[in-house]
């Protein structure tokens, strides 16, 4: 199996002893088909057991191993070493506080995710005896793309609006709000609008579009947010400009 010597420059931060972060360079022999996460695992196993980072599935499903690789938000299990030349710079996801080395604090995202109520709020509750809530394939396709989010937060690391204005609810949480708004079984749009149709909601988005470019699940948050801007504008027009209109 073909091997090559890979150099990685990894951001290190120890909250117990450091006041700022610094880069540490590692040289590690890697197999040609490895990803950046494999290289980090090899460093941790053979060179430096103090290196900290998160990972779980190693197959771009769990969304745990997001990092900045050469300045680009990537899942490190999805970043093949053969795609890079020279020293590979590995940093924690941008825009999130660094807990230690490559581990970031996702608390802000988790709190925002809760605020958009990312679950079905039934239009009308019915007893189990009445059977399931049915949905046609066309109704499913209306939101399916937006249900593929793996909460990896790469879109937050790519979004300059979130970096500059941390109050912004952000791409993934708003996209999940859209996913449930679009679901034929759901009746919770009005509740979600209290968070979505605000300055911190969709109106903080200036359509940079970076979220959709970096999404490893091809969710396209930028499209979800622009669609919510249109529906929120229609709500406003109906409420304020049409006599007797209610959003």
* Residues in touch with another protein (CB under 8 A): 13, 15-16, 18, 20-21, 71-72, 94-95, 97-99, 105, 137-138, 141-142, 160, 163-164, 206-210, 212-213, 220, 222-223, 226-227, 229-230
Nearer to another protein, 97 or 245 (CB): 97
Q: Which among 68, 75, 79, 77 has a CA at the least distance from the CA of 101?
A: 68
Question: What region, left, alpha or beta, does residue 213 occupy, with left being phi > 0 and alpha being psi -120 to 50 degrees?
Answer: alpha
To the nearest whole angstrom, how small is the minimum distance from the Cβ of residue 42 to another protein? 26
To the nearest whole angstrom, how small is the minimum distance from the Cβ of residue 187 to another protein? 20
Nearer to another protein, 178 or 189 (CB): 178
Nearer to another protein, 160 or 245 (CB): 160
Q: Which residue has the tokens 């979220």?
A: 211
For β-strands 88-91 and 3-12, DSSP reports them as parallel
Q: Which among 220, 176, 215 has a CA at the least distance from the CA of 78?
A: 215
Nearer to another protein, 24 or 223 (CB): 223
To the nearest whole angstrom, how small is the minimum distance from the Cβ of residue 125 to another protein? 28
Nearer to another protein, 56 or 233 (CB): 233
Nearer to another protein, 125 or 218 (CB): 218
Alpha helices in the chain (DSSP H): 36-42, 107-115, 137-144, 154-158, 160-164, 171-181, 189-196, 210-214, 221-241
Terminal Cα-to-Cα distance of the chain (whole angstroms): 63
To the nearest whole angstrom, how small is the minimum distance from the Cβ of residue 160 to another protein? 5
Residue 86 phi/psi, 5° resolution?
A: 70, -155
To the nearest whole angstrom, how small is the minimum distance from the Cβ of residue 38 to another protein? 26
Q: Would you call 99 helix, strand, or coil by DSSP?
A: strand
Do 66 and 153 meet the contact criterion of CB atoms below 8 Å apart? yes
To the nearest whole angstrom, how small is the minimum distance from the Cβ of residue 47 to another protein? 23
């Amino acid at each position: 199996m073909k091997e090559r010597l890979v150099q990685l420059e990894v951001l290190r931060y120890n909250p117990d002893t450091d006041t700022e972060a610094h880069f540490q360079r590692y040289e590690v022999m890697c197999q040609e088909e490895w990803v950046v996460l494999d290289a980090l695992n090899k460093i941790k196993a053979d060179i430096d057991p103090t290196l900290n980072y998160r990972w779980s599935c190693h197959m771009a499903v769990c969304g745990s191993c997001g990092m900045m690789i050469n300045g680009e938000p990537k899942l490190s299990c999805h970043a093949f070493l053969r795609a890079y030349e020279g020293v590979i710079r590995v940093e924690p996801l941008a825009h999130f506080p660094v807990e230690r080395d490559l581990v970031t604090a996702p608390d802000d995202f988790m709190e925002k995710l809760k605020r958009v109520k990312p679950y079905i709020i039934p239009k009308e509750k019915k007893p189990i005896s009445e059977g399931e809530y049915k949905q046609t394939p066309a109704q499913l396709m209306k939101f399916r793309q937006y249900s593929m989010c793996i909460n990896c937060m790469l879109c937050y690391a790519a979004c300059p609006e979130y970096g500059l204005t941390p109050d912004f609810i952000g791409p993934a949480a708003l996209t999940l709000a859209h996913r449930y708004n679009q679901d034929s079984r759901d009746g919770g749009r009005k509740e979600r609008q209290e968070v979505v149709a605000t300055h911190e909601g969709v109106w903080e988005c200036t359509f940079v579009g970076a979220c959709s470019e970096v999404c490893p699940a091809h969710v396209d948050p930028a499209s979800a947010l622009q669609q919510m801007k249109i529906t929120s504008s229609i709500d406003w027009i109906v409420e304020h400009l049409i006599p007797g209109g209610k959003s």
